[in-house]
Structure 1
């Protein structure tokens, strides 16, 4: 074999080796099957698994979080962290559609596909955003809210009732679900909740004794469920899109 032929053969073998290695790192799999497999191995729950049926994704051998991000690259999803830093739940919101952000809207009622962008901050293993609570007299109260897909309602400390002009005697008692379990709350309604410049009118809220919340307020699914939601860790941003 000539010297040139040997070089060509070595180059070809090198290319094939790289292709095999790449295939091992990023194998193509059915998303629903792989997600169910990871959930069984690592002990987390999956909501919305049917959204991935028929979809194909890729896997890698990295940390669980990296595996999930690679596998779900074509989907909108939320990963709920466990207290120990692992994964408690994965929520599939739907297939991600490519879009180009439109020009900045002139008003809060004309956001189009740009959605609502809220800066996030870390609160332990969770993300928090700042919103404004609109009270009975139209006054606004700025409040930090933990993004909590395990909470049924917008959950607020009971101590806020006087500041919001709400009488506790006008509220009803109800058991509600939070990430820390079920608790008894006073259920009422806020005239409005402001997320950036967008106002949500007549928002139901659960008021819970401050000691049971540990000083935190929660942005729950009665608000988050109105939107498709993405969390951008690199930009520290929560983005909400109309369904």
Structure 2
């Protein structure tokens, strides 16, 4: 049996899957919190507190299972060579005078800058979420001739990097929504890939698509 399948099944016991993945600190914290909710449920003299602890316990169990499966997918992608290990990143503090949307864009751009080569210019960057097959959050950066996708771990830290060259992308479209917009990437030989992007980043998403299309036209003319 695939060892990752065993780890996924082991996550039925709170903290065990994380322990097997080497995330010992998170595993211990998860186990202690879950055990605490169990003890409160059985020994609390107040029914309301017992009921509340039951809800919290179920929430913790679901979240740690989701966390484990998310980390398994990342480890598998890194081991298979589909992703390159991300560099260690430094904390980013956005200027206080910026609006919420501009702070999101500033952070996305700075995170991408930390992960690419020093001589590569980041034209635009956004935070996008893919939910079509599995949940993944990415920082998407637009470079001179490729997109860089920075996969994040469960707590939002850069974990893996994938590059997609412009020549493999047929088109990019953006569908506006009430709370989130949908960025759709059309690639050769693949189903369209939808990404959810906060409407706070709409200006930057539009700019990313515009720059990409201009660069693609220039490449075709040069060719």
Greater strand fraction, Structure 1 or Structure 2: 1
TM-score (norm 1): 0.25
TM-score (norm 2): 0.27
Higher radius of gyration, 1 or 2: 1
Greater helix fraction, Structure 1 or Structure 2: 2
